[in-house]
Structure 1
Amino acid sequence: MADLQRKSIVVTGGASGIGLATVTQLLELGARVAVGDLALETPSTLTNLNPASDNFFYEQLDVTSRQSVQGFIAKVLEKFGQVDGLVNNAGICPNEGEIASDDTFDRIMAVNLKGVWNVGTEVIRRMMEQESRGVIVNTASDAALKGIKGLAAYTASKHAVLGLTRVWCKEWTPKGIRVNAVAPGVTDTPMVARIAADHESGQEATASWLKNIPMGRFGQPGEIASVICFLLSKDSSFMSGQVLRIGGGEGE
């Protein structure tokens, strides 16, 4: 994946979990990385990476706001000149209860679906103005390939991300933009820890999840990030419209 050196990559939700692991690997590969997340100031998780200032910048980003996304992408172009890749990763998974409230449903869809739409369409517009076009990787979920009891709204939002991925492939790959998705299974991230904590017994929830994973463990963020970097690179140059499941052997 040496071809990622000096490539300009946007990562949303890049301050923790899979996003942070992706930022870390991209910087190690010599990419120039623009990170957008909700925090006003650069989170310590990112400053601790000690990135070179010419290869990295952070900007507060609300993916649910088209205005925020437009401002963020404008700053990426000002800093790096173009966008070679997008990791459309920002997402949430709050406790839905037995039936999610309208407010919870709307919030999940605003981030997980509209956020992917907002950032993806803005980046596509910019890529179409570039000679070299680019690559998009959407973060879906294992939930996009099955139904998960108790997470109806989240599951629906991630199914929709797969739909966008497949349609964008049909629309934009003929014009030079590859679009793929990753579908991580249960991964050892702060978000998963919060989901477990919301259960009456976090230990029981964890044991239940592990029971369905043939490898008998949760994924590590770096394992997901490695696949994302592969999809951004020329190593996957004949792939578009695909979803790669990364779940330790877990099936339907």
Structure 2
Amino acid sequence: MTEQHNADRVALVTGGGRGIGREICLGLARAGRRVAVADLRMPGATQTAATVNTEGGSGRHGGGEPNRAIAVAMDVSDSDSVAQGLLAVVDELGPVEILVNCAGWDELKPFGTTDEAFWDRVIEINYKGPLRTTHGCLPAMIEAGFGRIVNIGSDAGRVGSSGEAVYSGAKGGVIAFTKTIAREVARRGITANAVCPGPTDTPLLEEIASATATSDKIIGAMARAVPMKRIGQPHEVASAVVYLCSEEAGFITGQTLSVSGGLTMA
């Protein structure tokens, strides 16, 4: 397989329209990947794809064509939407060789105040979403003998987080799922790893915090809990993901990497 072909590998990033997902798309594109920006919010996905295409040749390898990105409508909580989105990616870019599951959602609520409708939404997006996309992408990866899967977990899934009981459980499930997939496909040229952000400056964090009466205090408390005494930036998480998606990371699989300023150390 030539270096140019390797550079042209197709990456699918869910939740790529904003926050961490957007930075992952930009980072993968700069590494030379063709990127499918999948998101429920099409304006954000379109903007991310346009930014990649505007940057153009910053990620060229060997004088080849500029990076190419497309925006794809995808609701990871809906199996039909995932299937249709994957068909669109394959049609425009080719089979997915790199999958990053970044789409996520939560609200801060004590567990006793939640109901099954809330549980279902959190689980459908944060846990079953990665199941759906992985199930759809794995066959082509196995056939090609190459694949990189990175699932965005959370430090909440490693140590728990008050007010995020269902989300923490879903992210813990993502971590265990990632390890199991890693074992199942270890001899197929496919790796699967989880990256767990700590508190990170994203639109989702702002939405979660602003839904409470003390949003500034919540974010301040999060920062104080981190040994580095600040919350993370999306590009800091993205850099870890881009590495795990690289050719060089071929002997790293089944791992859980926290990008959290030392909030979780293991």
TM-score range, shorter chain: over 0.9
Of residues 143-152 and 194-203 in structure 1, the stretch that sits farther from structure 2 once superposed is: 194-203
| TM-score, L = length of structure 1 | 0.93
Match in the other structure for 2:140: 126
Q: Return the letter of the residue paired with 2:123.
A: M
Determine which of 122, 146, 156 is the counterpart of 2:159. 146
| Gap regions ≥5 residues in structure 2 | 57-65
Distance 2:7 2:246 in 1: 10
Q: Secondary structure at the match of 2:166?
A: helix
Deviation for aligned residue 1:129: 2.5
Asked if residue 22 in structure 1 is aligned to residue 24 in structure 2, the reply is: yes
Runs of 4+ in 1 over 4 A off after TM superposition: 40-44
Could you tell me which of 224, 235, 240 is aligned with 2:253?
240
Distance 1:98 1:110 in 2: 17
Contact in 2 for aligned 1:96/1:104 (Cα 8 Å): no
Q: Distance in 2 between matches of 1:71 and 1:148?
A: 35
2:48 to 13, 32, 46: 46
* Aligned AA (1:9): A
Q: TM-score, normalised by structure 2?
A: 0.88
Name the aligned partner's letter for residue 134 of structure 1: G
Q: RMSD across aligned C-alpha pairs, in angstroms? A: 1.9
Which residue in the other structure is 2:119 paired with? 105
Q: Indicate yes or no: 2:37 matched with 1:35.
A: yes
SS of match in other structure, 2:185: helix
Note the C-alpha offset of 1:82.
2.0
Sequence identity (%): 32
**In the aligned structure 1, how far is the partner of 2:191 from the partner of 2:30?**
23
Measured after TM superposition, the shift of residue 45 of structure 1 is: 3.5
Structure 2 Cα separation of the partners of residues 29 and 74 of structure 1? 24
State the AA in 2 paired with 1:128.
I
- How many equivalent pairs are there? 250
Q: Return the offset for 1:96.
A: 2.8
Q: Which has the higher contact order (CA 8 A, sep 6+)?
A: 1
2:184 maps to which residue? 171
The alpha carbon displacement at 1:106 in A equals 0.5
Letter in 2 for 1:88: N
Partner of 1:57: 70
